[in-house]
Amino acid sequence: MQPLPKRTLQRMALLLCLGFPLAWASRFPLAPGSDLVGRVQEVVATPQDTLLDIARRNDLGYNEITAANPGLDPWLPGAGARVVLPTQFILPEGPRRGIVVNLAAMRLFYFPVPRAGEQPEVVTFPIGIGRMGWNTPLVTTRIASKVADPVWHVPPSIQQEHEKDGDVLPESVPAGPDNPLGDFALMLELPGYLIHGTNKPYGVGRRVSHGCIRLYPEDIADLFRQVSKGLSVRFVDQPDLAGWLDGRLYLQAHAPLAGDAGSAAHLTAMVDAVLAQAHRVPGTAVDWDLVLRIAREGRILPTPVSVLAAPGPGPAH
């Protein structure tokens, strides 16, 4: 891994003093036969807290913290309010290698290659993604290059969009506090798309970009240090995630990027996700009434849906 520049280390030290997480807050061991990492937690809000402050301190995005706390005002949760932290995650379906970006969950998963004798791990960060009309393609690509202090060369399409609103953008924006790419950028072999930082961190966990993937400044600094040119990057759209933990089948639901969370199409996709996992362990019985409630509620906290614990630790990977 590359050492971080002195300026970045100073910024990360400041963030730590302010209560923001560093890399190890989002690094989890991968237990054999398990599809879940982390655990749900709870904190108590102070008079000065917003849900956005609490989210960033715990490496969560806006969408995650608000979905887990539907009864709280995002801007004024209130002193003493108990805030649920949805810091348990079902891993996306598919190969666990390189970077996997689940757009529906607005979360990035990085699977480092373990050293000999070490337990596999996953590092996960919340992300901001493309807004409606600027969707990120569902493809597999690679990191083409790594750039510290990137210059933003403004695409003509974005210049034209801003001109319609009377906002004239320059052809390029130099590195610095006004640069929306932040301090670090991972250029992809997919032309026009990047994984980068941001100068507007509270857009993480929202659909705010023109198709690129945005991370908190402290998260992109850590990811930039760990990954290498040529690493595979796979984009998926998996709002409904099912997986095994300690012999029980769990389900986690995110709002679909398109369509109604309670629609027939969404329910069908959720049932398919549950069936695909249930079939991995013969004899698994599923509480389908609970699955229907999760579909309607968009329950972001992983919930056990198997009626009885299946024998053994779960299916092998």
For residue 77, give the CATH number of its domain: 3.10.350.10
- Residues 215, 166 share a domain: yes
Choice among 153, 210, 212, 279 that is catalytic: 212
Task: For residue range 238-290, list pLDDT tens digits in order.
Answer: 999 999 999 999 999 998 887 666 677 788 889 999 999 999 998 899 999 99
Choice among 153, 196, 254, 317 that is catalytic: 196
- Residues 171, 158 share a domain: yes
Percent helix, percent strand, percent coil in the chain, to nearest 5: 25, 25, 50
Question: Which residue from 236, 209, 221, 217 is spatially nearest to 98, judged by alpha carbons?
Answer: 236
**Active site includes 162?**
no
Give how far Cα 2 sits from Cα of 100, 122, 146, 165, 233, Å.
21, 19, 11, 42, 19
- Residues 65, 165 share a domain: no
**Active site includes 17?**
no
pTM above 0.75?
yes
Label residue 12 by pLDDT band (50, 70, 90): low
Range of the domain at 40: 6-93
- Residues 271, 183 share a domain: no
Q: Which residue, 48, 65, 93, sits at the end of a domain?
A: 93
| pLDDT of 312 strictly over 80 | no
- Residues 220, 252 share a domain: no
Which of 39-43, 77-81, 112-116, 162-166 is least confident? 162-166
Q: Is residue 200 part of a domain?
A: yes
What is the tally of structural domains in the chain? 3
- Residues 299, 277 share a domain: yes
pLDDT for 61: 96
Pairwise CA distance, residues 224 & 41, whole Å: 28
- Residues 191, 87 share a domain: no
